[in-house]
Structure 1
Amino acid sequence: MTSGRTTEVRTDIQGLRAIAVSLVVVFHLAPAVLPGGYVGVDVFFVISGFLITAHLLREMASSGRVNLPRFWARRARRLLPAALLVLVVTVVAVWVLAPTGFVPGFLAQVAASAVYVQNWALADQAVDYMAAEAQVSPVQHYWSLSTEEQFYIVWPLLMVLALWLAARSRRGTPRRVVAAIMGAILVGSLAWSIWHTAVDPAAAYFVTTTRAWEFAAGGLVALVAAARPGWFAALPPGLRAGLAWAGLAGIAVAAVLYTGGTPFPGFTALLPVLATVAVIVAHDPEPAWSPRGLLATRPMQWLGDVSYSVYLWHFPLIVLVPFVLRRELTPLDMLCIVAATLLLAWGSKEWVEDPIRTGMTAHWRPRLTFAATAAAMAAVVAVTFAGVGVADQQVAQQQHELKKIVASGEPCLGAAALESGSGCDPESNTVAIPDPALVDKSPERCITNTRDSQLKVCPYGVAEEDATRTIALVGDSHAEQWLSAMSLTAEKHDWRVLVITKASCPFIGVDRDEPSKSDAEMAALVDTCRTWNTEALRYIDEHPEIDTLVTSAKSANPVKAAAGETWQQTATEAYKERWEQLPSTIENIVAIRDTPRMDKGVLNCVTVSGADAAQNCAVPVDKAFGDDPLADAAESDADPRVSLIDMSDYFIVDGECPPVIGGVLAFRDTHHVSWVYSSTLAKPIGTKMAEVVGDTVAA
């Protein structure tokens, strides 16, 4: 991505850049074609570590010091103009092209990218359960640029530290101290990367601490090259050629065989990192059968030269173009995006990057460069923050309008279209509300995240002193998805509803199990879920005014099975045991059968299909519904307090589960009900609830 250079322009490194950016672009356009193409970023990190370290070592050797202001000013002039230009263009494009619901999140990520903390923002989002299926931002790729910028800030400081330590050491030389520091970073960061990837792979992918060893690997190669000038080039030509081919093969193997399920970075990143080191060490071998001819071709050299701009431009186009086309990208669309990316990269290189880097600003004092840089970054951040505020207001306004639509009592809206005798055709209304971009923008949320154990209790409905009944809605996110329906129901029936939910944590006395998660991830999930369950049970014990408990859970989330049992059997019995532990003040225990599961990409399908979404994106009933241990427990429990409410009929049309029912988008992702559709279910669930608890059914 970056282009810090040694004195000579090495054609092999330019060719490596071309390969790296090609891998990334193909991966982002068609991940199925090159599932491990993300390793191109690791290639860039090693190259940056090598080139920047080589530059700093030369400066140390020639002057005995590192001029930090000059180094940082050069980096700013080289990298920031194009990066900020792409951010500004992206801001404009987001406002013009992106659906309203996506704008606040997109602009927030632009701000994080402008100050180069995007990788940490994404790491934080990666552990947020509610953001697990969030729309990809057009500047998400700036995470790697943020990592590199943080490297450019810290790395020269380490060189200064090495000089200081060497000056106070009788035996140590700057190079030896640098070698010791880099070696410590490589070993420590690699160990941390392996551990963090095992414990928290989603966050580990983005954070700088798990990637620092990759820069250090390149830096150590530069250190060896500086200590023994010409040593790499003096190796036998055949050995160097074989090493170069082995390195390119290693990168290719990782790009083809690695997938999204590969634990990364961790120890698996050793392959692309060491492969890149091998190509750099080979130092452009001369034999005719070496890869020199491939790497030194004009197209490869040109692509390597504009690789930074290609990286900047390609991803906003990939994310934003489908909003214009209103459909998924076709192969022809992808080719057009590649062509547009190359054209924009050439233009920004010729008219922005090079003129600023080598023109009048090249003679600016560092102080002036820093002032201009700070002003430009501040301007981008200010604009995006202001935009987020405006966009949030627009989202709130649309939420208000949706609430008014639901409250209007439209006879064929949402679940009302499925009522017996309504005379409605549930598929006749082709206008899906909310827009897929707004479907996850619920005005009310109350849920503890997967990493936390804090008990959140959110009251809805009427005031405590006016309530004829107090209901606790307890469970995981599939209980919380009923918040909209239950809150509206509570207001109509003079009930008070206390929402107590935690993501991926059913209200049950047996531990969760998740084979796809690491042992460390599961330990954290189990520990927080146990604590939350204990606190939830204690809260119910300490609040005798709660007379009804309503619970639901994701039926596909397994628990640890007892010996000789399936996990479903264990869960069924565990739910019964949990309900037995409830105090006698709980008069009614109401289980809600789980809702259907949709196909992956359901929201994209709705967007692409438009008026035909109800038909094109529907899932057969037998595929949408699976075994539900909680429902089985409610049906088989002899406790007279226990009842089952089954809302399945409100998701089925002609033997299928469509994503759009009565003009309403029923799902916010593959397995959660949208807040708008949940709102339209307030009347039927209120009727069923009133019948179960023995209250008068409200008109």
Structure 2
Amino acid sequence: MAGDPLMSQQTSGRTTEVRTDIQGLRAIAVGIVVIFHFVPAALPGGYVGVDVFFVISGFLITTHLLREMNTTSRINLPRFWARRARRLLPAALLVLALTVGAVWLFVPTGFKPDFLAQVAASALYGQNWMLADQAVDYLAAEAQASPVQHYWSLSTEEQFYIVWPLLMVLALWIASRAKRARPARSVGFVIGAVAVLSFGWSVWQTAFDPAAAYFVTTTRAWEFALGGLTALAVLSRPALFAAIPEQVRSVLAWLGLGGIFLSALVYTGETPFPGYTALLPVLATIAVIIAHDPSPAWSPRRLLAVRPMQWLGDVSYSVYLWHFPLIILAPFVLRRTVNPIDLLVITALTLVLAWASKEWVEDPVRIGITSSWRPRITFAATAAAMGAVVVVTIGGIGAADEQVKASQQKLATLVESNEPCFGAAALEPGSGCVVEPDTVAVPDPALVDKSPERCITNTRDDELKVCEYGVEKEDADQVIALVGDSHTEQWLSAMMHTAEKRNWHVTVLTKASCPFIGVPRDEPEKSNAEVATLVDTCTTWNDEAKAYLDEHTEIDTVVTSAKSSNPVEAEDGESWQETAIDSYEERWSELPEHISSIIAVRDTPRMNSDVLSCVTANGKRAGEECARSVDDAFSEDPLAEAAEQSTDSRVSLIDMSEYFIVDEQVPPVIGGVLAFRDTHHISWVYSSTLAAPFGDKIDEVVETAAA
């Protein structure tokens, strides 16, 4: 296979041969990624385009480093890193800087802190690790995507560019120390070790923690490494690859392209990725690279070499940079959801901006006067540019946090003002309020999840987090423990707003996705490893919560709820719901005698998956367009059934469903208040407006028990 495996790389005015097949591969990769982000249903597995890029990077960078090793017997690390910085950072930092301005001008207050924090992480090329950390945060599971979320892959690549030449230097050192060791063998050993270890880790981590595994560098390193091994094989045995018949290479190229498109078409968000399933797009990309532009007329050579494909491949980096901020920020700028015409405009704008930044930013820095800068000057300029973006962004985060606090205070004041017909008050019997499709929604969807107070243990932790609210225990008429999962914790705002008024002391013990129950949790849609972690942490937390209630004899009332659709491990011959009902009753019977009231709260309704987007898009018509029928919104609730059939005189059921239903519908906005913060949790503001009726029901139960 003749020809230079490196793509168009200009150095000192000289351009090496362009591999049109790899240029076409880049066009395909960025194309399927953009389609996936713009119209996910069209290519549900379009995220594999990123893996194509990883393999290409591994191949090209390893080729470059191997040639330098063969020519000079060393690797000039400063020069390599300086070239990468000039190639990648100018356009990336430009997009980040403009995104900061757009976020500040157009994005609602509640989204600003997280968006700007992700910009800072992207500027420092640690975005992938930040997203990995957020991916295991149950409370952020339905968070709004940031306009720079796609920088996770750029962060991964940048980390590869830093570490990879160091590994090659290590291989050279090993070769120099070992007798009769050839550099190529040492390189193969090091890259092979990375490939094997990373792939094994990727498979395990994808099964154990798929959300985080998607982003971290350690689960992706094998993709770069396989690209590197391909480069090593091609350079070490050029005659062997050149001897492959053109017809065989043509078939190989078509199979490779078919594998990429197949994975983009059949993979979905439910596909365990990047573990072993990433082998398909990775090996498919390698197949196209090995085929190396076969000459038969029926080969994909002409397809990959057509001018539009070559142009798109040439600007693929810029297209990737620009497309995601545009699609994420567009609804904020337009103040509505994007339509097909908007998508066409955004696509055209992406291409124009990509061309402009390539012509006026990337190329001038890469091959212009700055190309002659010494590495230390490049590093200094790079550090200054990155530092400027980070400093401005951090300042913006501080200002945005103050805006969020001010908004929270305004909302708290509004709740305390007890305005008639505001929130749940609009549904009070005899209120005289006319509940129609609402024209006002507070909080803004951007603030709906910004509760000023949270107290909950995350899904992957078993720590018994204890929070105290209200009056001092010794002065309280009631000492109440709020115990259960996040559907229990969502009542914290209501309890906080009523605790001091009713002379309560409230202790909060809650853990995400973990009801207060005696049987293990289950999640059939999750991997065995994920379920094992969920079961272990939930079981430990339940034991510690039970021990806490046993030890603290001042607690006289327990309030608990649970997400009605979260399954537990079913006993033989039973449905999981039947097992849950029995286990709730058993757990309540085990509570100590000093607890005189056990109050189960029926679960709240479930909304459509796009409820917040629907409210944002429909404005005044949100009450009509985004409501859900009562039959669809409410499901069978094992906890409520257990309370209804319990023979324990201490157990009672509170049902707040009436405060969510309007004319047999569950609207997202009630009394001008956005009632939900995601598909299945109520908002902290609406919870606050429920303080009075919720407190009345608790007092009624306690008084009845006392009588």
TM exceeding 0.5: yes
Mapped to 2, the partners of 1:509 and 1:227 lie a distance apart of: 62
* 3-state SS, counterpart of residue 238 of structure 2: coil
Quote the residue 1:658 is aligned against.
Answer: 667
Which of 36, 61, 69 is 2:70 aligned to?
Answer: 61
* 3-state SS, counterpart of residue 692 of structure 1: helix
Q: Summarize the Cα distance change of 1:179–1:270 in structure 2 as closer, same or farther, 3 Å threshold.
A: same
Which of 395, 418, 428 is 1:419 aligned to?
Answer: 428
- List aligned pairs for 1:470-485, cutoff 5 A: 470-485=479-494
* 3-state SS, counterpart of residue 149 of structure 1: helix
- List aligned pairs for 1:55-94, cutoff 5 A: 55-94=64-103
Which of 505, 509, 521 is 1:512 aligned to?
Answer: 521
Quote the residue 1:237 is aligned against.
Answer: 246
* CA distances 1:346-394 after superposition (whole Å, capped 9, x unpaired): 0000000000111111111100100111111111111111111100100
- List aligned pairs for 1:535-614, cutoff 5 A: 535-614=544-623
Q: TM-score under structure 2 normalisation?
A: 0.97
Quote the residue 1:627 is aligned against.
Answer: 636
Mapped to 2, the partners of 1:51 and 1:183 lie a distance apart of: 17
Q: Does 1:7 align with 2:19?
A: no
Which of 667, 671, 684 is 2:676 aligned to?
Answer: 667
Amino acid at match of 2:65: L
Return the offset for 1:464: 2.1
The answer to whether the 8 A contact 1:548-1:589 is kept is: yes
Q: Does 1:456 align with 2:462?
A: no
The answer to whether the 8 A contact 2:131-2:212 is kept is: yes
Q: Does 1:49 align with 2:58?
A: yes
Q: Does 1:260 align with 2:264?
A: no
Mapped to 2, the partners of 1:35 and 1:255 lie a distance apart of: 6
Quote the residue 2:539 is aligned against.
Answer: 530
Which of 429, 441, 446 is 1:437 aligned to?
Answer: 446
Return the offset for 1:195: 1.0
Mapped to 2, the partners of 1:429 and 1:329 lie a distance apart of: 23
The answer to whether the 8 A contact 2:8-2:18 is kept is: no
Which of 662, 684, 700 is 1:691 aligned to?
Answer: 700
The answer to whether the 8 A contact 1:428-1:662 is kept is: no
Quote the residue 2:40 is aligned against.
Answer: 31
Mapped to 2, the partners of 1:639 and 1:581 lie a distance apart of: 11
The answer to whether the 8 A contact 1:414-1:664 is kept is: yes
Q: Summarize the Cα distance change of 1:230–1:320 in structure 2 as closer, same or farther, 3 Å threshold.
A: farther
Quote the residue 1:467 is aligned against.
Answer: 476
* 3-state SS, counterpart of residue 512 of structure 1: coil
* CA distances 1:472-505 after superposition (whole Å, capped 9, x unpaired): 0000000000000011111110000011100000
Which of 129, 141, 148 is 1:132 aligned to?
Answer: 141
* 3-state SS, counterpart of residue 500 of structure 2: helix
Quote the residue 1:372 is aligned against.
Answer: 381
Return the offset for 1:184: 1.1
Quote the residue 1:385 is aligned against.
Answer: 394
Query: Can you give the 5+ residue segments of structure 2 that lack an aligned partner in the other structure?
Result: 1-5, 10-14
Mapped to 1, the partners of 2:390 and 2:89 lie a distance apart of: 14
Mapped to 1, the partners of 2:591 and 2:536 lie a distance apart of: 21
Mapped to 2, the partners of 1:444 and 1:603 lie a distance apart of: 21
- List aligned pairs for 1:330-409, cutoff 5 A: 330-409=339-418
* 3-state SS, counterpart of residue 694 of structure 1: helix
Q: Does 1:146 align with 2:158?
A: no
Q: Does 1:119 align with 2:128?
A: yes
Mapped to 1, the partners of 2:262 and 2:170 lie a distance apart of: 38
Q: Does 1:187 align with 2:196?
A: yes
* CA distances 1:319-361 after superposition (whole Å, capped 9, x unpaired): 0001122222211111111100000000000000000111111
* CA distances 1:417-436 after superposition (whole Å, capped 9, x unpaired): 00011110222641100000
* CA distances 1:164-210 after superposition (whole Å, capped 9, x unpaired): 11111112111110001111111111111111111111111111111
The answer to whether the 8 A contact 2:8-2:16 is kept is: no
Q: Does 1:312 align with 2:296?
A: no
Mapped to 1, the partners of 2:54 and 2:652 lie a distance apart of: 58
The answer to whether the 8 A contact 1:427-1:660 is kept is: no
Amino acid at match of 1:221: T
User: Identity rate of aligned residues, in percent?
Assistant: 71
- List aligned pairs for 1:207-222, cutoff 5 A: 207-222=216-231
The answer to whether the 8 A contact 1:190-1:213 is kept is: yes
* 3-state SS, counterpart of residue 412 of structure 1: coil
Quote the residue 1:20 is aligned against.
Answer: 29
Mapped to 1, the partners of 2:699 and 2:51 lie a distance apart of: 59
Return the offset for 1:695: 8.5
* 3-state SS, counterpart of residue 556 of structure 2: strand
The answer to whether the 8 A contact 2:7-2:17 is kept is: no
Mapped to 1, the partners of 2:249 and 2:349 lie a distance apart of: 37
* CA distances 1:565-606 after superposition (whole Å, capped 9, x unpaired): 111111111011001110000011011100000011000000
Quote the residue 2:113 is aligned against.
Answer: 104
Return the offset for 1:77: 0.4
Mapped to 1, the partners of 2:676 and 2:239 lie a distance apart of: 63
* CA distances 1:71-104 after superposition (whole Å, capped 9, x unpaired): 0000000000000000001000000111111000
Mapped to 2, the partners of 1:696 and 1:530 lie a distance apart of: 30
Which of 485, 496, 503 is 1:487 aligned to?
Answer: 496
Amino acid at match of 2:55: V
Higher mean C-alpha displacement, 428-437 vs 306-315: 428-437
Return the offset for 1:3: 7.2
* 3-state SS, counterpart of residue 600 of structure 2: strand
The answer to whether the 8 A contact 1:3-1:308 is kept is: no
Mapped to 2, the partners of 1:602 and 1:233 lie a distance apart of: 57
* CA distances 1:426-479 after superposition (whole Å, capped 9, x unpaired): 226411000001000000000000000000111111122321110000000000
* CA distances 1:232-280 after superposition (whole Å, capped 9, x unpaired): 3332111111111110011011111111111111111111000000000
Return the offset for 1:297: 0.7
Q: Does 1:171 align with 2:176?
A: no
* 3-state SS, counterpart of residue 498 of structure 1: strand
Amino acid at match of 1:531: T
Higher mean C-alpha displacement, 459-468 vs 126-135: 459-468
* 3-state SS, counterpart of residue 195 of structure 1: helix
